[in-house]
Amino acid sequence: MPEPIETPDPDVLTDTRDLNTLNTFISSQSCVLLLGPLFGVDANSEKIHSNLRSFLTAEPNLLNLDDEFDNLYICKSPDSTQNAILINGLDSYYKTVQPHQVYSQILSIGFRAIISYTSDLLLAEANTNNEYDFAFFSAKGNQINPDQGTALNATKKPLIYNIFGNNSDLNSLITDYDSLYDFLINILQANQEFPLQLKNILSSARAFLFLGFDLRKWYIPLIIRKFNHFILNGNRTRTAVSAFACLDDTDDIQADLLAEGLSKYPLSFTAFKGYNSLQLLEKLAMMPKKVPVVALGNSRPVSQTELAFFKKWDQEMKTYGKEEGLKTFFKEYKDLNYSGVYKIEFDGKYMDYNKACTDKYFGTISREDFDVACNIIVLSLFEYIPKVLNP
C-alpha cells in the first residue's frame, strides 16, 4: 500500500506565512520591534524579570513590590522610603547580569527601531558598532546619549529607545506610584519629549512586532495608543498597520478571551502559535534581507517608463473593480522594478495587498473585510501616484 500523505499542520503553515510576511516588512525597513517588560533574558537563558524580582525581595533588600506592574518594580511603600534601596538594588543587579546573545542577534536583524519597555542598557551595550542611536524617555525631557556625537533629530540611523527610562539616570526611573502616574500622564501628553527621529519612524512604520508582553496588562494599551497617535499624524489609517506578537509571556487564557483583550489595542494582531520570542528572533536573524534602494539614498527623478506607468494607472485604476485593479496594478508594478522616491510606500501597499489576499485564502478574514482592505489600498495609491507625477 502507498504511504499515507501527511497532512500539513495548519498552524505551521500559518506561522510560516506570517514569518515570511514579517520578514518582508523588516526588509523594507518599515518594522518596529517592541520588547516588553518580560522579555529580558540572561546568558543562562533565565528570565531577568524573575531573577531580579527575587533579588530585590530577598535579604538584604527585602523590598515590598507591587506585582501588578510586571518588572517596573514599583514599591508599595506610600512614603517612598524604600526608593533608595530599590535604586541601589537595580544598579547592583544590572552591573552583574550577563546578557543573552539574543541582544546582539536582535541588532543584526534590521529593525527600523527597537523600543524597550525596561530601563536596562542591555541593547545599548550590545550596540558595539554604533549602528543604532540610543535615547530614552524622561519626564524631564528627552535624554540623548552624550557619546552619540550627532544630533538625534538629524540622524537617519535606526534607533534604540528605552520607554521606561535609563538605569544609569536616576531621574528617569519609575520606582513608586507617584513616578508611575507621572510617567503615564507625561507619556500620553508628550510630543516634544519624543525625538523627531522616533516620531518619523513611527509615522511611516508598516508593522510592529511585540515580544515579552503580557498583552492583558491594563497600562500597556495606553502606551501603545500614544504610538498610534504618531501613526495617525502621519496620515495613516489604523487598518494599514500590522502587528505581530509571540504570546509566551501572556498568561494562558481561552482564545476568545485573548481576542477580546487584544481588541483594546489600536492595531490588528497576528499571533505566532508555534514560536516563542527567542525562536522567532533566531529564525528572523537567519532569513535573508533585501536592502531597499531608497534606504541607500537613491532619490533620482522618475524615469519616462515609470512616468508612463503611473500616468496610465492614475486613470485606469478608476475603471477597474478594486480587486481586479489591484491584482493587475501590482503585477505590472513588480515588472516595472520601480526604485524611485516612493518605493517604500508602494512596496508597503504591495505587502498589504499580498497579506489581504493570503488572509482571504486562509479564511482568516471575511470577504467584506477583504473588500475594505482593498479599498483602503486603492485610496492610498491615489494618494501617492499624484506625488510621483507632480514631485
Work out the widest C-alpha separation in the chain, in whole angstroms.
77
Residue 104's SS3 state is: helix
Of the candidates 228, 283, 263, the one whose C-alpha atom is nearest the C-alpha of residue 109 is: 283
Q: Predicted confidence band at 360 (pLDDT cuts at 50, 70, 90)? A: confident
CA 299 to mean position of chain CA atoms: 26
User: In this predicted structure, which of 51-55, 60-64, 79-83, 161-165 has the lowest mean pLDDT?
Assistant: 79-83
The listed range with the strongest mean pLDDT (89-93, 101-105, 336-340, 361-365) is 101-105
DSSP class per residue in 246-295: E-TTSPP--HHHHHHHHTTSSSEEEEESS--HHHHHHHHHHS--PPPTGG
Cell of 308: 508612463
For residue 162, the number of C-alpha atoms closer than 13 Å in the C-beta half-sphere is 26
Q: What is the pLDDT of residue 83?
A: 85
Interval 115-134 mean pLDDT: 91
Residue 20 has pLDDT above 70, yes or no: yes
Residue 69 has pLDDT above 70, yes or no: yes
Interval 99-117 mean pLDDT: 93
Q: Which residues of 131-152 are buried (b: 16+ CB within 10 A; e: fewer)?
A: ebbbbbbbbeebbbbeeeeeeb
- The predicted-structure confidence for 308-349, as pLDDT tens digits, reads as follows 888 888 888 878 777 888 888 888 888 888 878 788 778 878
- The predicted-structure confidence for 196-244, as pLDDT tens digits, reads as follows 888 888 877 888 999 998 887 777 777 777 777 777 665 554 445 788 9
Interval 171-196 mean pLDDT: 80
pTM assigned to the model: 0.74
On whether the CB atoms of residues 221 and 169 are closer than 8 A, the answer is no
- What are residue 47's DSSP bridge partners? 41
Q: What is the pLDDT of residue 185?
A: 82
Eight-state DSSP code of residue 47: B
Q: Predicted confidence band at 293 (pLDDT cuts at 50, 70, 90)? A: very low
On whether the CB atoms of residues 52 and 93 are closer than 8 A, the answer is yes
Q: Predicted confidence band at 261 (pLDDT cuts at 50, 70, 90)? A: low
Percentage of the chain beyond pLDDT 70 is 82
Strand arrangement of the beta sheet that strand 31-35 belongs to: 143-144, 133-136, 159-162, 113-116, 31-35, 207-211, 242-246, 268-272
Residue 126 has pLDDT above 90, yes or no: yes
- What DSSP element (H or E) covers 144? strand 143-144
SS (H, E, C) 223-235: HHHHHHHHHHHCC
Q: Predicted confidence band at 161 (pLDDT cuts at 50, 70, 90)? A: very high
Measured CA to CA, the distance from residue 16 to residue 14 in angstroms comes to: 5
On whether the CB atoms of residues 274 and 99 are closer than 8 A, the answer is no
Measured CA to CA, the distance from residue 312 to residue 324 in angstroms comes to: 16
How much is the mean pLDDT over the chain? 80
Residue 191 has pLDDT above 60, yes or no: yes
On whether the CB atoms of residues 83 and 91 are closer than 8 A, the answer is no
Q: Predicted confidence band at 259 (pLDDT cuts at 50, 70, 90)? A: low
Q: Predicted confidence band at 296 (pLDDT cuts at 50, 70, 90)? A: very low
The amino acid occupying position 194 is: F
The CA–CA distances, whole Å, from 265 to 53, 183, 232, 344, 361 equal: 28, 20, 14, 25, 25
Residue 151 has pLDDT above 50, yes or no: no
